[in-house]
Amino acid sequence: MKRIFLLITFFISFLNSYSQSPADFLWSKTMGGSGFESYGYEVFDKAAIALSVDEKSLYVGTSSSSNDGFVNDSLGSLDCWLIKLDTQTGDTLWTKVFGGSGYEEITDVTETADGGCIVCGFSNSMDGDFENKGLHLSLTMPDYIYSDGFIAKFSAKGEIEWLKYYGGRPFIEETSVGIDKLYKIITTKDGGYMAAGYTYSNTDDIPVDLERFIGGWLLKVDKNGKIIHSDKFTGKNHNESNPNTLVDIIETEENVFYAVGSQSYIIVGDGTIEFQDYIWVIKTDGVKIIEEKEYGNNVGSSYPAGLTVTESGKILVVATAQAARGDVSQIYGSYDIWLLKLGQNLEIDEERNLGGTAGEYPFSIVSDKNGHYMICAYTNSEDYDAGTGVGASDFWAINLNENMDTLQTYRMGGTALDRLTDAVFSEKGDKLYVTGRTESADGIIEASFGNGDIWVSAINQNETISVENISTGNSIVSIYPNPSNGVFYLTNSKNSTFSISDITGKTIKTGKIDSDSKKIDVLTFGKGVYFIEVVSETQKKSSEIKKIIIN
């Protein structure tokens, strides 16, 4: 039997869930004016980021009340602000302020196949860029202006290709208001777009249903913004006092969607009114609910932030939690990050909390498509998972695997309030682009322009694995990518087995290779020397050993 030895060196910056990693910044940029940019206090009041299909530029969508600094115009009390940046340098390629004399916000941005982007949000303007766009006005209360959801498609040059309002009015306007908002937009597998939000309406673009009040809203449009279907979604316990919302949506296969939001309860007591919020997840074909479930407890409210799908088809949901009871097994402080892993029928496989005693708040969760998942949040704590702080409230990025193990954390910012709200990975997973809101003017924050600015940064996700051949002979296995960032694949090794052991001979991990490509993730390994052996079942039990060094 011939053995062939290859050397694989891993210079991996591995930290456990209680440690932090210094970010390797490629560039960092603060932008804004003397007013407010992106309030950053709610899951929808945030800066959002998308990577163009050619990975040469970033789109950042937010809101602004400024008319100076980086903000080149002001149309009303709060305007939409869209920014395009160069991914290599962080240079501003263009900015676009759009809106009207009212109030509007961008809540999400997504890249499009033509190199441009599409954004969603809400507005109550009837002039400027929103003139004659179809705002649904009150028929009986002309002095009251409702807000509608909107979607706008932009070219790569920053030109508005189309912009449309969507929404309706309440069925009985004297007793309720017609407020419609869109919080998330995705490109669907059939080439259209799906947006998620909530609606108060029961007319026009919203189906008439007198038994549904404030509900989650899913809006499907084609590539030109024409409505394919628009539907209100409510939970099994929904009524006038128990509203629903939706804040995020993913498509796992064509016309199979998972969305997360809130099931709220208004509890009226003897002279008191209490509000109780549960996490609400639905599985849907976009028109009707297939499965639904609530998560939380009756002691403290839980608020949704986002969800994503894992490589094995599990659903990861990130939220906040206040109390350890019911579905929440542990809590450290007033608010913790709460992470749930759900099966496709929405049962809880696992759940855990992240944070410290002073409070944390998540805004989103994103995937690098290599089995790693990044939570964007802020933390006020200096204990447990949060570690040592920089300022009053810090940007906090938490990198996890599918088992919800903490692989790496970035805690960064200045001495004031900093909130990390969104992120996107490059296709290879070697670059991480993040955005958020900052009130700092020190630390990693280069400048301050007003009451709160937008911060955008590119972070190198260290390429840590290299392979060197130290022996000759016929190989039974190949490795790619080389280098990689902590995940590699064994190829040309179908119908084989592998085992990983430490320097003492203790077996750490074993498995079968029953496909043409087997993924190996070593980011959870501690520092030291390991050996991986691949044994072929088809080549007369020939084997190959590789040495792994983790520093």
Residues 47-80 pLDDT 10s: 999 999 999 999 999 999 999 989 988 888 899 9
> Last residue of a domain, which of 460, 481, 514?
460
Question: Per-residue pLDDT for 318 more than 50?
Answer: yes
Give the pLDDT score at 551: 53
d(CA 343, CA 310): 10
Query: Are residue 7 and residue 103 in the same domain, yes or no?
Result: no
Give the pLDDT score at 116: 98
Q: List b or e across 113-122, with b for residues whose CB sees 16 or more CB atoms inside 10 angstroms.
A: eeebbbbbbb
Residue, of 434 and 208, whose pLDDT is higher: 434
Q: What domain range includes position 475?
A: 3-12+464-550
The contacts of residue 505 (CB under 8 Å, 6+ apart) are none
Query: Are residue 162 and residue 123 in the same domain, yes or no?
Result: yes
Query: Are residue 41 and residue 181 in the same domain, yes or no?
Result: yes
Query: Are residue 183 and residue 223 in the same domain, yes or no?
Result: yes
d(CA 269, CA 291): 32
Instruction: Name residue 455's beta-bridge partners.
Output: 30, 436
The residue whose two tokens read 């296969």 is 253
> Last residue of a domain, which of 435, 460, 485?
460
d(CA 537, CA 495): 6
The DSSP call for residue 128 is G
SS3 384: helix
Query: Are residue 475 and residue 376 in the same domain, yes or no?
Result: no
Query: Are residue 505 and residue 366 in the same domain, yes or no?
Result: no
Whether residue 339 is contained in a domain is answered as: yes
Give the pLDDT score at 479: 72
Backbone dihedral angles phi then psi of residue 226, each to the nearest 5 degrees: -75, 135
Query: Are residue 194 and residue 311 in the same domain, yes or no?
Result: yes
Residues of the chain with pLDDT > 90, as a percent, come to 56
Whether residue 18 is contained in a domain is answered as: no
State CA 421 to chain mean position distance: 8
Instruction: Please provide the average confidence, as pLDDT, over all residues in the chain.
Output: 86
Whether residue 168 is contained in a domain is answered as: yes
For residues 333-340, give the mean pLDDT.
95
Whether residue 484 is contained in a domain is answered as: yes
d(CA 483, CA 272): 61
SS3 385: helix
Number of structural domains the chain divides into: 2
Whether residue 19 is contained in a domain is answered as: no
Radius of gyration of the chain (CA): 25
Q: What is the pLDDT of residues 87-103, one digit of tens each?
A: 999 999 999 999 999 99
Whether residue 419 is contained in a domain is answered as: yes
Give the pLDDT score at 38: 86
Q: What is the pLDDT of residues 524-543, one digit of tens each?
A: 676 667 788 888 877 666 77
Give the pLDDT score at 519: 82
Give the pLDDT score at 267: 77
Query: Are residue 411 and residue 471 in the same domain, yes or no?
Result: no
SS3 334: coil
Query: Are residue 430 and residue 468 in the same domain, yes or no?
Result: no
Query: Are residue 53 and residue 195 in the same domain, yes or no?
Result: yes
> Last residue of a domain, which of 460, 490, 506?
460
Give the pLDDT score at 149: 96
d(CA 80, CA 401): 35
Give the pLDDT score at 141: 62
The DSSP call for residue 523 is T
Query: Are residue 441 and residue 486 in the same domain, yes or no?
Result: no
Whether residue 17 is contained in a domain is answered as: no
Q: What is the CATH number of the domain that holds 431?
A: 2.130.10.10
Question: Per-residue pLDDT for 9 more than 60?
Answer: no
Whether residue 497 is contained in a domain is answered as: yes
